[in-house]
Amino acid sequence: MMAPVCPVGTYPASVSSGFSSATAGAPAALAQLGQQAARPEPGIDAARLRVAVLRLSRRLRKHDLAGLTPSQLSTLASVGKDGPVRLGDLAATERIAPSTLTRLVNVLESRGYLVREPAPDDARAYLVTVTDAGREVLECIREEATSMLTDILRTLPADQLAALDAALPALEQLAGSG
């Protein structure tokens, strides 16, 4: 029986460490899986982890985000973290198209959370900086989300809290912030 082939740009629920005749003419994305076969399989259920992370993320977003969408909040938080940043670099950080970023920045700028100024060393580029109002909104949202997560963590037994604490470096690395 042949395993279903995922369309390019999607990932299988679990990674197989072997080759079969069915993968002989597979697209490049599947061929890369074979190159990764030398790596040991992670001892974790990736699908279960994905669902848990998504559900926790959804729970943490169920509070007032100052009227911001998750994409707007992510953009504002990136500018707040990275300081004055070029639009192109911000689009790369957010992993979105420059045109999408421009729309997000326009909204945040109209609300007074960001300011866009010409880059001093490149007349074609613009730098985006968070305003005092943007910093206040970010701090309020961070405090509320942290408080909410703290309340959720209080429901866990000590052994599960210790396991989460031990997993933080790996989770940070997976999230791209470690």
Domain 65-178: assigned CATH number: 1.10.10.10
Whether the per-residue pLDDT at 16 is higher than 60: the answer is no
CA distance linking residue 113 with residue 36, whole number of Å: 43
Domains of the chain, by residue range, sit at 65-178
Q: For 72-90, what is the mean pLDDT?
A: 94
What was the pLDDT predicted at 32?
Answer: 56
59 is written with which tokens? 């729970």
pLDDT reading at 28 higher than 90: no
C-alpha 74/C-alpha 58 separation (Å) is 14
110-123 pLDDT tens trace: 999 999 999 998 88
Return the number of other C-beta atoms located less than 10 Å from residue 128's C-beta. Answer: 24
Determine what percent of the chain is predicted with pLDDT higher than 90.
58
Question: Phi/psi class of residue 26: alpha, beta or left (left: φ > 0; alpha: ψ in -120 to 50)?
Answer: beta
Which one of 32-36, 80-84, 133-137 scores highest in mean pLDDT? 133-137
pLDDT at 83 (0 to 100): 87
Is residue 58 within 8 Å of residue 65, measured between CB atoms?
no
- For residues 170 and 69, give the distance between their C-alpha atoms in angstroms, rounded to a whole number: 27
Q: What is the CA radius of gyration of the chain?
A: 21
Separation CA 33–CA 22 (nearest Å): 13
pLDDT score, position 37? 56
Q: Is the pLDDT of residue 20 over 50?
A: no
Q: Which residue from 109, 100, 107 is spatially nearest to 127, judged by alpha carbons?
A: 109
pLDDT tens for each residue of 61-76: 777 778 898 899 999 9
pLDDT tens digits, 92-102:
999 999 999 99
Question: Given the structure tokens 């960001």, which residue do they identify?
Answer: 114
Tokens for 92?
Answer: 């790369």
Q: Could you give the residue ranges of the DSSP H alpha helices within 37-127?
A: 46-60, 70-82, 87-94, 98-110
